[in-house]
Structure 1
Amino acid sequence: MANKYEMFSVRVTDVQQATPLIKRFTLAREDGAAMPAFTGGSHVIVQMQGADGSQYSNAYSLMSDPRDTRSYQIGVRLEEQSKGGSAFMHQHVEVGTQLTISTPNNLFALDASAGRHVMIAGGIGITPFMAQLHELEGGSTDYELHYAFRAPEHGAFQDQLESGPHAGNTRFYIDSLERKLDLTALCAGLADDAHLYVCGPKPLIDAVIATAAKAGIAEQRVHWEQFAAAPVTGGAFTLVLARSGTELQVEEGMSILQAIEKSKAAKVECLCREGVCGTCETAILEGEAEHYDQYLSDEEKAAQQSMMLCVSRARSARLVLDL
């Protein structure tokens, strides 16, 4: 499976503390050349290397104006269960730090067929919508943004939204002030040509998907994105690497990628470890996968021809891969 990403070097030109847990980083090429073009909803893979040789790789949404490619901006939340990347960004990355990033890819674009865009953000999930709002500015398609967060101090970029051109289209919901987002009412009032978009914590995404389904909204009108490794669930299974004939036991709580890396049975490239970059896509020769990635389409998942090793697991007791 070909890696369609190209990697290039950037420098951090600005760091802002947006909330107690979120920082906004501005990235630019050292030679001042334009960054690759992107569309709202795009993400990049950011690779970091510590002084001790430790390496991290995370996917982050681009939140800056797609019309301005002099630099990119990303928002990074310090995660409690960090794999190391968000902690490194918060603790070690400053103005002047060199990072390696990928060219942008978009798995969360606005649907051009929609008559209205209804965007739902939870916490750090606001970032892809910031770029999409730039795209919608001055356009003819109606839109509304519903932004929920825990407390006033956690409303990243709220001031920018309240004072900018999208203020009239934006609603804020703050848990600590008992201002709750009513998903049932929101979905019940949707026109037939409206599309829903949600980005944020998994419970919010799950609630939007379930509420939309209950309201009779077609799946193709509901779009979601979450940058976090899917929970590794399900029992142990046998993994066979067909090229070498190696058999491995993938234990409960372990990903296929982790099992392969632990045994050093094969070399697998994976940039994101979150099921979004597609670099660890591997052909399935026997068995079926339980897909947890966001990269493959529903049709591709149903076809059971390939899977993402970083997050997906076996639905069958035995899985044979082209490795």
Structure 2
Amino acid sequence: MILDRLIPARVAGIDSLGPTLKRFRFEPESGRFPTAAPGAHILVTLRGPERVWKNAYSLVTPPDQRDGYAIIVRRVRDSRGGSHFLHDHLRPGDRVEIGPPASLFPIASLARRHILIGGGIGLTPFLSYVPVLRARGAAFELHQYCTDEETGIFRELLAEAGAGVTVHGETSRRSFTEVLTDQPLGTHVYTCGPAGMMEAVEAAARDLGWPEAAIHKESFGGAEGGRPFRVTLARSGRTLDVPETQSLLEALETAGIEAPCLCRGGACGVCLTGVVDGEIEHRDHVLTEEERAGGRLMATCVSRARSDVLVLDL
């Protein structure tokens, strides 16, 4: 299941933003795309000669733009192939399939003030936040943290964002504690970027006494590889091999097995699947410590096996 249906689309254009960053613009083959909520992402299906990738990317276009969608993708050196395929093989006019937009990172409607903290490519969901916050007349700050080499790239991307935007390089930056100190009651903080950065933002907010309900994050990282393992499906008796460069979810999809999914980053819980036997290496962001210890649920999009074999309730 990928949110009911895929939308046929074509690559309308590709813009090089930097050595490792490209913006990909898509247009529907017919009609218009669905309206997207701020912070929404789409699943893009990429069909290569030997395999298929289904990757989630945040939309950077305004939520009410329906004649075209855009995403920004970094070419990751240790990618399992999706970002390499986009950067190296996708061309204007190529056909892709896009899932309807899904929102797991909404703007808190009752917040009095919004603090947006992005790290590197984690800026992307905030590019769709800004026009909405501006239209609402909402009070907000956007802090983008990046390398010194990329400060110019991100300043250009944020050139039309207006006041309240700061791009922090490595040699001159405010700490998260400084950014979050003395904010008015009712302020919410949103963070997206590398896991270590998001954890540091969360820690700073908690140390300052921020309530948990006012701290929001989006994990944009997809599945990482790991040790190969074998999966047995208890109901059908089928056995699948999961290689080190493939996720369990991808192995199920390759075998033609219906496998629910939404974020493909361990953040939504849609792909949670029952485990009958085996030891799990949990990598998700949704299960409680008690659920992890119980060993009876796993997120197939990111988690893997510690044991040689897993038996799933499928």
TM-score bracket, normalised by the shorter chain, equals: 0.7 to 0.9
CA distance in 2: counterparts of 1:47 and 1:237, whole angstroms: 25
Matched, 1:34 2:26: no
2:15 aligned partner:
16
Specify every segment of 5 or more residues in structure 1 that has no aligned partner in the other structure, as ranges. Answer: none
CA distance in 1: counterparts of 2:23 and 2:114, whole angstroms: 25
2:168 aligned partner:
173
1:221 aligned partner:
214
CA contact (8 A) 2:202 2:215 kept: yes
Matched, 1:142 2:134: no
- Within the candidate set 93, 99, 107, 1:110 is matched to 107
1:269 aligned partner:
259
**How many matched pairs?**
312
**Residue 232 of structure 1: how far off its partner (Å):** 7.0
Question: TM-score, normalised to structure 2's length?
Answer: 0.83
CA contact (8 A) 1:283 1:321 kept: yes
For residues 21 and 251 of structure 1, do their structure 2 counterparts lie closer, same or farther at Cα, with a shift above 3 Å needed? closer
CA contact (8 A) 1:22 1:156 kept: no
For residues 139 and 261 of structure 1, do their structure 2 counterparts lie closer, same or farther at Cα, with a shift above 3 Å needed? closer
**Residue 261 of structure 1: how far off its partner (Å):** 8.5
Deviations 1:163-184 (A, max 9, x none): x2x3211011011xx1123112
For residues 77 and 192 of structure 1, do their structure 2 counterparts lie closer, same or farther at Cα, with a shift above 3 Å needed? same
- Write the letter of the residue equivalent to 1:208: V
CA distance in 1: counterparts of 2:172 and 2:92, whole angstroms: 37
CA distance in 1: counterparts of 2:240 and 2:42, whole angstroms: 32
Mapping for residues 271-290 of structure 1, pairs under 5 Å: 273-276=264-267, 280-284=271-275
CA distance in 1: counterparts of 2:163 and 2:142, whole angstroms: 10
CA distance in 2: counterparts of 1:143 and 1:195, whole angstroms: 9
CA distance in 2: counterparts of 1:252 and 1:84, whole angstroms: 13
Percent of paired sites with the same residue: 35
For residues 212 and 290 of structure 1, do their structure 2 counterparts lie closer, same or farther at Cα, with a shift above 3 Å needed? farther
For residues 252 and 96 of structure 1, do their structure 2 counterparts lie closer, same or farther at Cα, with a shift above 3 Å needed? closer
**Superposition RMSD on alpha carbons, in Å?**
3.6
CA distance in 2: counterparts of 1:277 and 1:157, whole angstroms: 28
**Residue 312 of structure 1: how far off its partner (Å):** 2.9
Q: Matched residue of 2:158: which SS?
A: helix
Matched, 1:99 2:90: no
CA distance in 2: counterparts of 1:260 and 1:137, whole angstroms: 43
Deviations 1:3-28 (A, max 9, x none): 53421111111111112211111111
- Write the letter of the residue equivalent to 1:282: T
CA distance in 2: counterparts of 1:143 and 1:16, whole angstroms: 28
- Within the candidate set 82, 87, 92, 1:90 is matched to 87
For residues 293 and 153 of structure 1, do their structure 2 counterparts lie closer, same or farther at Cα, with a shift above 3 Å needed? same
Specify every segment of 5 or more residues in structure 2 that has no aligned partner in the other structure, as ranges. Answer: none
CA distance in 1: counterparts of 2:72 and 2:134, whole angstroms: 21
